Structure 1
Amino acid sequence: MTRRAVIRGTGRYLPERIVENAWFEDKIDTSDEWIRARTGIERRHFAAEGEATSHMAIKAAQNALDRAGIAADTIDAIIVATSTPDLTFPSVATMVQSGLGMTRGFAFDVQAVCAGFVFALANADGMIRSGQAERILVIGAETFSKLMDWEDRGTCVLFGDGAGAVVLEAAEGERGVLATDLNSDGSYRDILYVDGGVATTGTSGKLRMQGNVLFRHAVEKLAETAHRAIDKAGLTTADVDWLVPHQANARIIAATAQRMHLPMEKVVLTVADHGNTSAASIPLALSVADEAGSFREGDIVLTEAIGGGLSWGAVVLRW
């Protein structure tokens, strides 16, 4: 039998503050209609003053543990995917470890922007397959509202804050992560980046994006990485029961699904209510669909994401 990383529980946390599209109308040249038509976003959540990425990650993690019926002190490792850590160091993951009352195991962050959760999930899968860990918490958490240029109408309407988490456990059998595919190409770094950093400006900077260029790369690269992951799993797109994509833009999601010949009825969509929550978007969507009872045991679930770097990848798993 093959040792695999199986999802035992999902969880999420969204800040209490909900920001509708209309909130932007008296601040920049935009409208609810414009935002909906171009992105599919209707609202997003913004973290409260003093509410940091670690705070949201802890709540999402505890929610996932509760739903899995697993105690925090039985977790061997925590991996947090984030581009918006509380501090330059230590990692958000160690803050989550402390917040959950854990004094054992290890914890670290992964930074691959919007593809971060896919990269973190692939890392966790490798550790479980190798026997380095039995149970791992994988979390995506972001406070992207802190990186926004509120005068840039092309970016500030897109992003939201939140956190999602999954509990992975080693198990023998057919369920669990079947295949992963990870990619990056640093020559495209100017398409999506933040114009600040410790070693350059000494500030966190603001998000900059070439939206039209990124759109074209996203559709092409997401379809390609998804197909590669499916091939590695020995499956075809006809075997996919659910696509859980990075929730960046409804048009990108629809175009990617079309390239893969997947009907939208098989796609989990949360972008309308969450906006783009970067590394948090896939685990948030997984949690929403899981709680709604959408996934059945044995379903083939495909996740894919692309983010700054550019970095992109996909994971295929059997629920």
Structure 2
Amino acid sequence: MNTGLISMAAYLPANKLEDKMAKALPEFLKNQTLLPEEYIKSIEDTGCLPGSVENNYDGWESQPWFDAWLKSLAPKKQADPFQGTSERRRVPNDPASVTESIHPHPMLPSDAEVIAASMAILRSGMNPDDIDLVLAHSQVPDRPLPQNVSLVQHKLGLKNAGAYSVDTCCSSFVSMIEVAVGMVKSGIKKNVLIVSSYIDSHVNDKSTHFSVDTGDGAAAGIVSSCEMGYLSSHSSSHGDRHDGIVFESRLPLLYKGLHTSPDRRQLVTTFFNRDACKEIAINAEKDMSFVVSRALEKANMTTENVDFFVTHQPVAWAGEAWRKAVGISEDKFYESFKKYGNIATAAAATNFTEALEKGMIKPEDMVLVASSGAGENHIAVMHQVSKALIENMKRFN
């Protein structure tokens, strides 16, 4: 037996569920989890995942500050302010914060992770009690400390599971595949749930030029013994670029306040060290090609053996640039940037999930999963798709 993914799922706000999943998911959430009932009722009433689609008009063009924002951009960006993004997804507001606070906040990232994980568990057909480890990465956790993973284990009611986090920023889901496979192969664990989320609504400053690129999403998978799965992987790190992209507490870039105004500082994604950011961009294709070539070499393969390629999508051009740099044909590649934008640590997993759902990946296909992550990290995993994964993805069709 090998070890690999046997189930995958993604929570993308407002996405419509298959009819059978639309019935099964609310029941599971009611009976197994601590998810707020308002989210469950939303799924029951609409057949869709909680949240909304934010298009360019609603988010920016219709806003009274749009002209000021446009003028604040560099001339090149003024000509194409939305940089290839037409929409992105937004979680709803947290129901408790709506009724108990004068300043409601978006859905807790741990709740988004519970929704994605619940769908992955349902698709696997597994008894939740058989999951013995949860690995998670919350790019925007509920609190700075501790990380969400133990809370997710608790909210999911996984009484037999340990829990700890794996953090390589946007590449964390791919890193967790590697870690989970090692745990199962060694016999330390049997069934590992991996979960990642990026709830951008908590850290989005709409007055920055890159705010149009980012959205909300969460993804999950289960790694277990199966007839096919993990083949090889390779990772690299470039700590000299560590402070290129950071979270920083500051005022929105477009802000006119008085001395009597409340403090409007918030934690936002910031290109902090411009020189490091330039190095990240300049080396993006080379760094991705390096980890891919090493992963293929370890599996005694070349790109000709790759049946499908999925990756992270930080900006509109990145996925296509990586595909060309690696040498994968367009018909073996899938990305969802125009629909979801940059959903960071959930991106590669979402693209893998949707390619499976669309029937673009078949049993025994060799799938190359690769991602970069701020910090800066790169990883590539070669994974042969099992019949179990394909069958489980169709469980609620």
Q: Is TM-score (shorter-chain normalized) higher than 0.5?
A: yes
Q: Deviations over 1:185-241 (max 9, x none)?
A: 2111232122259xxxxx973211256543322222112111111111111100001
Which residue does 2:152 correspond to in 1? 96
Q: What number of residue pairs does the alignment pair up?
A: 307
Gaps of 5+ in 1: 198-202
| 1:277 and 2:343 correspond | yes
Instruction: State the shift of 1:61 in Å.
Output: 0.7
* Contact 1:44/1:161 (8 A) holds in 2: yes
Instruction: State the shift of 1:156 in Å.
Output: 0.9
Instruction: State the shift of 1:7 in Å.
Output: 1.4
Which residue does 2:20 correspond to in 1? none
Q: Deviations over 1:130-166 (max 9, x none)?
A: 111111111111112222232211x211111111111
Aligned AA (2:237):
S
Which residue does 2:173 correspond to in 1? 117
Write the distance in 1 (CA, Å) between the matches of 2:281 and 2:349.
22
Q: Percent identity, aligned pairs only?
A: 24
Which residue does 1:9 correspond to in 2? 7
Write the distance in 1 (CA, Å) between the matches of 2:179 and 2:171.
13
Summarize the alignment of residues 126-141 of structure 1 with structure 2, pairs less than 5 Å apart: 126-141=182-197
Instruction: Name the stretch that deviates more: 295-304 or 44-53.
Output: 44-53
| 1:20 and 2:55 correspond | yes
Which residue does 1:200 correspond to in 2? none
Q: Deviations over 1:248-298 (max 9, x none)?
A: 223111111112221111111111111111111111112111111221111
Write the distance in 2 (CA, Å) between the matches of 1:125 and 1:196.
37
1:180 to 233, 243, 251: 233
| 1:191 and 2:257 correspond | no
| 1:224 and 2:222 correspond | no
Write the distance in 1 (CA, Å) between the matches of 2:90 and 2:78.
17
Which residue does 1:34 correspond to in 2? 80
Which residue does 2:214 correspond to in 1? 159
Which residue does 1:266 correspond to in 2? 332
Write the distance in 2 (CA, Å) between the matches of 1:86 and 1:135.
26
| 1:83 and 2:83 correspond | no
Write the distance in 2 (CA, Å) between the matches of 1:296 and 1:204.
45
Larger strand percent: 1
Flag the structure with more relative contact order, 1 or 2, with Cα contacts below 8 A and sequence separation at least 6: 1
Write the distance in 2 (CA, Å) between the matches of 1:162 and 1:298.
28
2:373 to 304, 307, 312: 307
TM-score computed with the length of structure 1 as normaliser = 0.90
Write the distance in 2 (CA, Å) between the matches of 1:78 and 1:84.
18
* Contact 1:83/1:112 (8 A) holds in 2: no
Write the distance in 1 (CA, Å) between the matches of 2:384 and 2:120.
18
Aligned AA (2:56):
N
| 1:287 and 2:353 correspond | yes
Gaps of 5+ in 2: 14-50, 95-106, 251-264, 386-397
Summarize the alignment of residues 231-270 of structure 1 with structure 2, pairs less than 5 Å apart: 231-270=297-336
Do the aligned partners of residues 283 and 35 (structure 1) sit closer, same or farther apart at CA in structure 2, a change above 3 Å counting?
farther
Q: Deviations over 1:23-50 (max 9, x none)?
A: 22343217998255x4x32211122222
Secondary structure of the equivalent of 1:7? strand
Write the distance in 2 (CA, Å) between the matches of 1:253 and 1:46.
22
